[in-house]
Amino acid sequence: MRDAAAFEVAVEDVRSSPPPPSTGRLRRSERRAGAVFVLPAVVLYALLLALPIIQTFYYSLTRWNGIDSTFLGLDNYERLFTDPVFWRVVANNVFLLLAIPVAILIPLAVAFLLNERVLGWRFFRSAYFLPTAISWVVIGIVAVRFFAQRGILNSILAALGIPVQTDMLASEWTAMLAVTITFIWSVFGTNTIIFITGMATLDRDVYEAARVDGAGGFATFRHITVPLLMRFIQFAFILTLITGFTALFSLIFVMTTGGPGFGTTTLEFYVYQTAFAQGEFGYAAAVGVVLFGIVFAISIAQRRLLRDRSE
């Protein structure tokens, strides 16, 4: 009886208490508060990123000299896709794209060795990251001193008794190879640190179990490390891709200025040449739009490929 009376009192207290605010009203209040906090970032994004992108799309449809513009429709794109220089420049970017797996696999292997705490791993981790702290201009100057006819490369070959003296910056394909090697070296430290960070998050018990089962170093790397690091590999790939397509202007300007001919001109550098050397800003905007589309399409395809594999 006492328990029944206590239960009735508790029920009366619940009935007499004020009703809680409705869930819908609370959610609307949270949305309004969230919108207020997000609004400054949205405005900043619109002014500094979205608006310039929209302007670029518009000016790519015009003949624009930096002051006055005349609407042309798709004429710039028709000219672009029939321009042999444009396709030569695209070939240079494809060459850089083919180098990205090398720029991923070498740092991944080195990070695996450093994660195994080989002799001197602390020193090598700092030494490998050093190129990341150097500006592109300095990297370009060092690369010129290395690949030039009277540079360090030929001195090393002569010291090894190899009778080969070459100026890699003098011909189109060797100059592009020199730029590609320099690009791989410049992103080596960043990708190595990304993979070392990713490996630090992995469960060491998995590796111990693999060793107990008799798995060797290569098998462990292939079947355990690589699958578990797939998200970090994806991040490194996108970062390297963006660097190769949109961040090598200073390097190319210092090393080759886009030459010989158009041998080392990338789409990014071609935008600069077309706009500021030839004064065709509308045509340069069309090149920029194509560059944006290529990078975006490759990034989406790569994300879907890795997501399908992870599933």
d(CA 106, CA 21): 58
d(CA 269, CA 172): 15
pLDDT for residue 203:
80
Contacts of 137 (CB under 8 A, 6+ apart): 250, 254
Amino acid at 290: V
Taking each continuous run of H as one helix and of E as one strand, the counts in the chain are 16, 2
> pTM of the entire structure?
0.80
pLDDT for residue 2:
46
Nearest to 35 by CA among 24, 47, 43: 43
CATH code at 77-310: 1.10.3720.10
d(CA 248, CA 242): 10
Structure letter (DSSP) for residue 130: G
Distance between first and last Cα of the chain? 59
pLDDT for residue 11:
46
Q: Quickly tell me which residue has 């590609």 as its tokens.
A: 180
Angle at which helices 281-310 and 84-115 cross, to 10°: 40
Per residue in 77-136, pLDDT tens?
999 999 999 999 999 999 998 999 999 999 998 888 888 777 777 777 777 777 778 889
The ranges assigned to domains in the chain are 2-59, 77-310
* pLDDT digits (tens), the chain, 311 positions: 444 454 454 445 545 555 555 566 657 777 787 778 888 888 887 788 888 888 899 999 999 887 888 898 899 999 999 999 999 999 999 999 899 999 999 999 888 888 877 777 777 777 777 777 888 999 999 999 999 888 888 888 888 888 777 889 989 899 999 999 999 999 998 999 899 889 888 887 777 777 777 777 777 888 888 888 888 998 899 889 889 988 899 999 999 999 888 999 999 999 999 998 888 999 999 999 999 898 888 888 877 776 655 55
d(CA 267, CA 264): 10
Torsion of CA 93, 97, 99, 100, to 10 degrees: 140
